[in-house]
Protein backbone atom coordinates (compact mmCIF):
# COMPACT_ATOMS: atom_id res chain seq x y z
CA UNK A 1 0.00 0.00 0.00
CA UNK A 2 2.99 2.29 0.57
CA UNK A 3 3.71 2.58 -3.15
CA UNK A 4 0.01 3.06 -3.87
CA UNK A 5 -0.02 6.10 -1.54
CA UNK A 6 3.12 7.54 -3.12
CA UNK A 7 1.85 7.06 -6.68
CA UNK A 8 -1.78 8.12 -6.25
CA UNK A 9 -2.15 10.29 -3.14
CA UNK A 10 0.93 12.52 -3.11
CA UNK A 11 0.89 15.75 -5.14
CA UNK A 12 3.95 18.01 -5.25
CA UNK A 13 2.81 21.63 -5.09
CA UNK A 14 2.65 24.50 -2.62
CA UNK A 15 -0.33 24.05 -0.29
CA UNK A 16 -1.59 25.40 3.02
CA UNK A 17 -2.50 22.61 5.44
CA UNK A 18 -5.43 22.57 7.87
CA UNK A 19 -3.01 23.62 10.63
CA UNK A 20 -2.18 26.76 8.54
CA UNK A 21 1.35 25.52 7.84
CA UNK A 22 2.70 25.62 4.28
CA UNK A 23 3.99 22.48 2.57
CA UNK A 24 5.57 21.56 -0.76
CA UNK A 25 3.34 18.51 -1.11
CA UNK A 26 -0.20 17.37 -0.33
CA UNK A 27 -1.40 13.88 0.60
CA UNK A 28 -4.95 13.33 -0.69
CA UNK A 29 -5.69 9.95 0.86
CA UNK A 30 -9.22 9.90 -0.58
CA UNK A 31 -7.63 8.96 -3.90
CA UNK A 32 -6.66 5.73 -2.14
CA UNK A 33 -9.35 5.16 0.50
CA UNK A 34 -12.19 5.60 -2.02
CA UNK A 35 -10.57 3.52 -4.76
CA UNK A 36 -11.63 -0.03 -5.54
CA UNK A 37 -8.05 -1.24 -5.13
CA UNK A 38 -6.98 0.95 -2.22
CA UNK A 39 -10.01 0.65 0.07
CA UNK A 40 -9.58 -3.09 0.86
CA UNK A 41 -5.86 -2.54 1.47
CA UNK A 42 -6.60 0.32 3.88
CA UNK A 43 -9.05 -1.87 5.77
CA UNK A 44 -6.60 -4.73 6.22
CA UNK A 45 -3.57 -2.56 7.06
CA UNK A 46 -5.50 -0.51 9.64
CA UNK A 47 -7.03 -3.60 11.23
CA UNK A 48 -3.58 -5.09 11.70
CA UNK A 49 -2.48 -1.83 13.31
CA UNK A 50 -5.13 -2.02 16.06
CA UNK A 51 -5.68 -5.76 16.40
CA UNK A 52 -4.69 -5.75 20.08
CA UNK A 53 -7.24 -3.08 21.03
CA UNK A 54 -10.80 -3.73 22.21
CA UNK A 55 -13.54 -1.58 20.69
CA UNK A 56 -17.15 -1.89 19.54
CA UNK A 57 -17.31 0.89 16.95
CA UNK A 58 -15.02 2.96 14.79
CA UNK A 59 -15.35 6.39 13.19
CA UNK A 60 -14.11 9.95 12.95
CA UNK A 61 -14.67 13.42 11.57
CA UNK A 62 -16.16 13.52 8.09
CA UNK A 63 -14.89 13.41 5.33
CA UNK A 64 -11.43 11.91 5.66
CA UNK A 65 -12.34 9.34 8.31
CA UNK A 66 -15.49 8.00 6.63
CA UNK A 67 -13.95 5.66 4.01
CA UNK A 68 -11.31 4.52 6.49
CA UNK A 69 -13.92 3.51 9.08
CA UNK A 70 -16.07 1.73 6.50
CA UNK A 71 -13.11 -0.11 4.98
CA UNK A 72 -12.07 -1.33 8.42
CA UNK A 73 -15.61 -2.41 9.32
CA UNK A 74 -15.96 -4.39 6.09
CA UNK A 75 -12.52 -5.97 6.46
CA UNK A 76 -13.27 -6.85 10.09
CA UNK A 77 -16.61 -8.43 9.22
CA UNK A 78 -14.94 -10.59 6.57
CA UNK A 79 -12.62 -11.92 9.29
CA UNK A 80 -15.35 -12.44 11.87
CA UNK A 81 -14.39 -9.34 13.86
CA UNK A 82 -17.63 -7.39 13.91
CA UNK A 83 -17.89 -3.74 14.91
CA UNK A 84 -19.92 -0.75 13.72
CA UNK A 85 -18.82 2.33 11.83
CA UNK A 86 -20.04 5.85 12.60
CA UNK A 87 -19.65 9.35 11.20
CA UNK A 88 -18.96 12.54 13.16
CA UNK A 89 -20.44 15.60 11.46
CA UNK A 90 -18.47 18.85 11.47
CA UNK A 91 -21.61 20.53 12.77
CA UNK A 92 -24.78 19.01 14.30
CA UNK A 93 -27.57 18.47 11.80
CA UNK A 94 -30.00 21.42 11.96
CA UNK A 95 -33.12 19.40 11.14
CA UNK A 96 -34.43 15.91 11.76
CA UNK A 97 -32.85 14.26 14.82
CA UNK A 98 -30.10 16.94 14.94
CA UNK A 99 -27.38 14.38 15.64
CA UNK A 100 -23.67 15.17 15.53
CA UNK A 101 -22.74 11.48 15.46
CA UNK A 102 -24.48 9.45 12.75
CA UNK A 103 -24.84 5.69 12.54
CA UNK A 104 -25.39 3.03 15.22
CA UNK A 105 -25.66 4.44 18.75
CA UNK A 106 -22.25 4.60 20.46
CA UNK A 107 -23.45 5.52 23.95
CA UNK A 108 -21.74 3.33 26.55
CA UNK A 109 -19.49 1.69 23.94
CA UNK A 110 -15.71 1.58 23.44
CA UNK A 111 -14.79 3.34 20.21
CA UNK A 112 -11.70 3.92 18.09
CA UNK A 113 -11.30 7.30 16.40
CA UNK A 114 -9.73 7.14 12.94
CA UNK A 115 -8.57 9.59 10.28
CA UNK A 116 -6.87 9.36 6.91
CA UNK A 117 -4.13 11.95 7.53
CA UNK A 118 -3.24 13.52 10.90
CA UNK A 119 -1.17 16.70 10.95
CA UNK A 120 -1.90 18.70 14.09
CA UNK A 121 -4.45 16.25 15.49
CA UNK A 122 -7.21 18.88 15.53
CA UNK A 123 -9.75 16.87 13.51
CA UNK A 124 -9.08 13.75 15.56
CA UNK A 125 -9.56 15.61 18.85
CA UNK A 126 -12.78 17.15 17.55
CA UNK A 127 -14.06 13.65 16.80
CA UNK A 128 -12.89 12.45 20.24
CA UNK A 129 -14.86 15.23 21.93
CA UNK A 130 -17.99 14.51 19.88
CA UNK A 131 -17.80 10.77 20.64
CA UNK A 132 -17.43 11.46 24.34
CA UNK A 133 -20.36 13.88 24.24
CA UNK A 134 -22.37 11.02 22.71
CA UNK A 135 -21.50 8.85 25.72
CA UNK A 136 -18.72 6.72 24.23
CA UNK A 137 -15.40 5.72 25.75
CA UNK A 138 -12.56 6.50 23.32
CA UNK A 139 -9.75 3.94 23.50
CA UNK A 140 -7.26 5.38 21.00
CA UNK A 141 -6.73 7.29 17.76
CA UNK A 142 -5.47 5.64 14.57
CA UNK A 143 -4.56 7.17 11.21
CA UNK A 144 -3.38 5.91 7.86
CA UNK A 145 -0.74 8.65 7.58
CA UNK A 146 0.83 10.96 10.15
CA UNK A 147 2.56 14.05 8.84
CA UNK A 148 5.71 14.85 10.82
CA UNK A 149 7.18 12.92 13.75
CA UNK A 150 5.96 14.77 16.82
CA UNK A 151 2.35 13.65 17.04
CA UNK A 152 2.68 10.30 18.82
CA UNK A 153 -0.02 11.31 21.30
CA UNK A 154 -3.32 13.00 20.38
CA UNK A 155 -4.50 14.70 23.55
CA UNK A 156 -3.95 12.08 26.25
CA UNK A 157 -4.74 9.23 23.84
CA UNK A 158 -2.33 6.90 22.12
CA UNK A 159 -2.06 7.65 18.40
CA UNK A 160 -1.16 4.78 16.11
CA UNK A 161 -0.36 5.29 12.45
CA UNK A 162 0.30 2.96 9.55
CA UNK A 163 2.63 5.33 7.68
CA UNK A 164 4.72 8.38 8.49
CA UNK A 165 6.46 10.80 6.14
CA UNK A 166 9.63 8.83 6.89
CA UNK A 167 8.01 5.58 5.77
CA UNK A 168 6.83 7.27 2.58
CA UNK A 169 10.21 8.81 1.79
CA UNK A 170 8.79 12.34 2.08
CA UNK A 171 10.94 13.47 5.00
CA UNK A 172 14.48 12.93 6.20
CA UNK A 173 17.87 12.70 4.49
CA UNK A 174 18.22 11.34 0.95
CA UNK A 175 19.19 7.69 0.45
CA UNK A 176 22.89 6.91 0.91
CA UNK A 177 25.22 4.44 -0.77
CA UNK A 178 26.32 1.35 1.15
CA UNK A 179 29.88 2.60 1.67
CA UNK A 180 28.50 5.86 3.10
CA UNK A 181 26.39 4.11 5.70
CA UNK A 182 26.96 5.19 9.29
CA UNK A 183 25.34 4.64 12.67
CA UNK A 184 23.67 8.06 12.50
CA UNK A 185 21.43 6.66 9.76
CA UNK A 186 19.70 4.53 12.38
CA UNK A 187 17.50 6.14 15.00
CA UNK A 188 14.97 4.84 17.50
CA UNK A 189 11.57 6.50 17.73
CA UNK A 190 8.64 5.78 20.00
CA UNK A 191 5.40 4.71 18.34
CA UNK A 192 2.72 3.92 20.87
CA UNK A 193 2.94 2.42 24.32
CA UNK A 194 6.04 0.30 24.81
CA UNK A 195 6.51 -0.04 21.05
CA UNK A 196 9.87 1.14 19.77
CA UNK A 197 10.88 0.95 16.15
CA UNK A 198 14.25 1.01 14.48
CA UNK A 199 14.12 3.34 11.48
CA UNK A 200 16.99 3.17 9.01
CA UNK A 201 17.84 4.61 5.62
CA UNK A 202 17.70 2.16 2.71
CA UNK A 203 19.52 3.25 -0.45
CA UNK A 204 17.41 1.18 -2.84
CA UNK A 205 15.07 3.02 -5.26
CA UNK A 206 11.94 1.47 -3.75
CA UNK A 207 12.91 1.31 -0.08
CA UNK A 208 13.90 4.34 1.93
CA UNK A 209 12.92 3.48 5.47
CA UNK A 210 12.36 0.32 7.44
CA UNK A 211 10.77 -0.23 10.83
CA UNK A 212 11.54 -3.13 13.14
CA UNK A 213 10.12 -3.77 16.57
CA UNK A 214 12.95 -3.68 19.07
CA UNK A 215 13.11 -6.87 21.22
CA UNK A 216 12.18 -6.66 24.90
CA UNK A 217 15.86 -6.70 25.86
CA UNK A 218 17.43 -3.96 23.74
CA UNK A 219 20.03 -5.58 21.49
CA UNK A 220 23.67 -4.50 21.55
CA UNK A 221 24.75 -1.62 19.37
CA UNK A 222 26.74 -3.89 17.07
CA UNK A 223 23.70 -6.10 16.51
CA UNK A 224 21.65 -3.11 15.38
CA UNK A 225 24.41 -2.01 13.05
CA UNK A 226 24.62 -5.45 11.44
CA UNK A 227 20.83 -5.65 11.05
CA UNK A 228 20.85 -2.24 9.39
CA UNK A 229 23.68 -3.17 7.01
CA UNK A 230 21.97 -6.46 6.19
CA UNK A 231 18.78 -4.69 5.22
CA UNK A 232 20.67 -2.19 3.08
CA UNK A 233 22.46 -5.04 1.28
CA UNK A 234 19.08 -6.69 0.63
CA UNK A 235 17.74 -3.42 -0.74
CA UNK A 236 20.67 -3.29 -3.18
CA UNK A 237 19.82 -6.82 -4.31
CA UNK A 238 16.15 -5.91 -4.70
CA UNK A 239 15.03 -8.09 -1.78
CA UNK A 240 14.18 -5.32 0.68
Instruction: Identify the sign of the CA torsion 178, 182, 185, 187.
Output: positive
pLDDT for 201 equals: 35
Instruction: Please state which CATH number belongs to domain 2-171.
Output: 3.40.50.2020
Q: Where are the domains of the chain?
A: 2-171, 173-240
In terms of Cβ atoms closer than 10 Å to its own Cβ (0-12, 13-18, 19+), residue 95 is exposed
Q: Give pLDDT, residue 148.
A: 59
- DSSP tag of 72: H
Instruction: Give 124-155 pLDDT, tens digit per residue.
Output: 889 999 999 999 999 999 999 988 543 455 56
Q: How high is the pLDDT of residue 226?
A: 62
The mean pLDDT of 99-122, rounded to a whole number, is: 93
| 3-class secondary-structure state, position 201 | strand
- Exposure on the CB side of residue 233, measured as CA atoms within 13 A: 6
Q: Are 60 and 69 in contact (CB under 8 A)?
A: yes
**Closest Cα partner for 68 from 174, 175, 145?**
145
Of residues 172 and 74, more confidence is placed in: 74
Q: What is the spatial distance between Cα 63 and Cα 66, in angstroms, rounded to a whole number? A: 6
- pLDDT tens profile 163-196: 988 888 887 544 433 334 344 444 443 333 444 4
Mean pLDDT of the chain: 77
Tens digits of per-residue pLDDT, 41-68?
Answer: 999 999 999 999 999 999 999 999 999 9
Output the pLDDT for position 203. Answer: 35
| pLDDT surpassing 90 at residue 237 | no
The answer to whether residues 200 and 37 touch, using CB atoms and an 8 Å cutoff, is no
> How far is Cα 219 from Cα 44, in angstroms, rounded to an integer?
31
For helices 38-49 and 65-78, the axis angle rounded to 10 degrees is 80
Amino acid sequence: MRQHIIDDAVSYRKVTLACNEESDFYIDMRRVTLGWYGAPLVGRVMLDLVKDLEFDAIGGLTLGADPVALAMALAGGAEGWCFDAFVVRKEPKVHGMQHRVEGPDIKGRRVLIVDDVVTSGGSAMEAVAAARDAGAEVVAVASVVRRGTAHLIVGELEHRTAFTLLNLGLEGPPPVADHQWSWKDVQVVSQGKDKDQMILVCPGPDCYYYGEVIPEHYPPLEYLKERAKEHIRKAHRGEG
